[in-house]
Structure 1
Amino acid sequence: MTHEMPVRVYYEDTDMGGVVYYANYLKFIERGRSELVELLGLNQREMRDRDGIVFVVTRVVADYLAPARLDDRLVVRTAHRAASAVRWVFDQEVLHGDRVLFRAEVTAVCMTLDGRPTRLPATLRGQVP
C-alpha cells in the first residue's frame, strides 16, 4: 500500500534562505506515516492508552535532493515495505510535481511504554509484507 498526502509549504516551514528547513521534511514524513497507519486501521492514541504500546523511530536514512520553497504544493508519498515481529520499515518521498525533493527510509519499532520492544499489533501483522 502506498499513501499520498498533500502538504503546502508555509512561511514557518522555511529557513533564512527561503527554502524548507531540513528538519521540517522529517515532520512532513511523520505525518505521512501517521496517515498510513490510520488507513491500515490503527489508532495510535488507542494503542497507547488501551494496549500500552507505541511506535518509536529508531533509524532514518535521508537524502535531500532539491529544495522546496514557500507556497510550493508538495506530496508526501509513504509506502511500507518490510516488517518483522517488532520492526516496521517505510520508504518515503517528498515530491514537487514529478520531482523527488527528499527521500528517506524510516525504521520504527513497536515498544511498550516502559521502553521494551514488543510485537506489532495483530491487526497489522497480516497487512505488512
Structure 2
Amino acid sequence: MHRFPIRVYYEDTDLAGIVYYANYLKFIERARSEWLRELGVDQVAMKAAGLFFAVRRVEADYLSPARFDDQLEVETLLHALSPARVVLDQHVARAGKALFSARVTVVCISGTGRPARIPADAAQVLRAQGLARN
C-alpha cells in the first residue's frame, strides 16, 4: 500500500470551511501520480510513445469532512489489473479516521483516445504490486 501525505490549505475549503468535494479527486490524483513515480512508471516516456493513463470511472464515498490545516493521508492500493486497465482503491484519512473512499478505474489510451495495452515495463511493476498484497 502506498501512503501520501496531504495538508489541507485554505484554498481547498469552501465557505463552510470544509474541503470542497472536488478537491478529494485532486488529492487522490496526486497520490496516484506519486505512487506511479515511486514504482518507476515513467509517464513522460509513455507520453513520448503516444500512450496515456486516463481516469475512466470513479466511485466515491464522502464519509466525513476534512477542514483547513488538517494533515491527511491518501492510501492507494491496487485492486485489479488487466492489459489496458488498472483499478485502484484509494482512501483519504485523518489520524486513521476514514474521510473519503474511492474505487478508481484508470485505462491506458493511445493519442487517438483508443484503448491501448499498458507498456510491458509498467505492467510488470504493477503486477508486482498485486502480488505483494497477496
Partner residue of 1:64 out of 62, 69, 80: 62
One-letter amino acid of the counterpart of residue 124, structure 1: A
How much does 1:30 deviate?
0.2
Residue 116 of structure 1, aligned match among 114, 117, 123? 114
- 1:126–1:46 Cα change, 3 Å: closer
> d(CA) in 2 for partners of 1:125 and 1:68?
34
Tell me the secondary structure at the aligned position of residue 14 of structure 2: coil
Partner of residue 76, structure 2: 78
Aligned pairs, number: 127
User: Which residue matches 1:22?
Assistant: 21
Distance in 2 (CA, whole Å) between partners of 1:40 and 1:117 is 22
Structure 2: distance between partners of 1:31 and 1:119: 23
User: Where do residues 33-44 of structure 1 align in structure 2 (5 Å cutoff)?
Assistant: 33-44=32-43
**Aligned-pair distance for 1:89?**
0.4
TM-score (norm 2): 0.92
Task: Answer with 106-115 or 119-128: which moved more.
Answer: 119-128
Question: In the alignment, which residue of structure 2 is the partner of 1:6?
Answer: 5
Distance in 2 separating the partners of 1:122 and 1:29: 25
d(CA) in 2 for partners of 1:16 and 1:8? 18
CA drift at 1:124: 2.2
CA–CA distance in 2 between the matches of 1:16 and 1:45? 37
- Consecutive aligned runs of 4 or more in structure 1 exceeding 6 Å deviation: none
Q: CA deviation at 1:43?
A: 1.7
TM-score, normalized by length of structure 1? 0.95
Of Structure 1 and Structure 2, the greater helix share is in 2
Tell me which residue corresponds to 1:93: 91
CA shift, 1:44, in A, is 1.1
- Contiguous gaps of at least 5 residues in structure 2: none
Separation in 1, partners of 2:122, 2:15: 42
CA–CA separation in structure 2 for the residues paired with 1:73 and 1:56: 28
- Identity percentage of aligned residues: 53
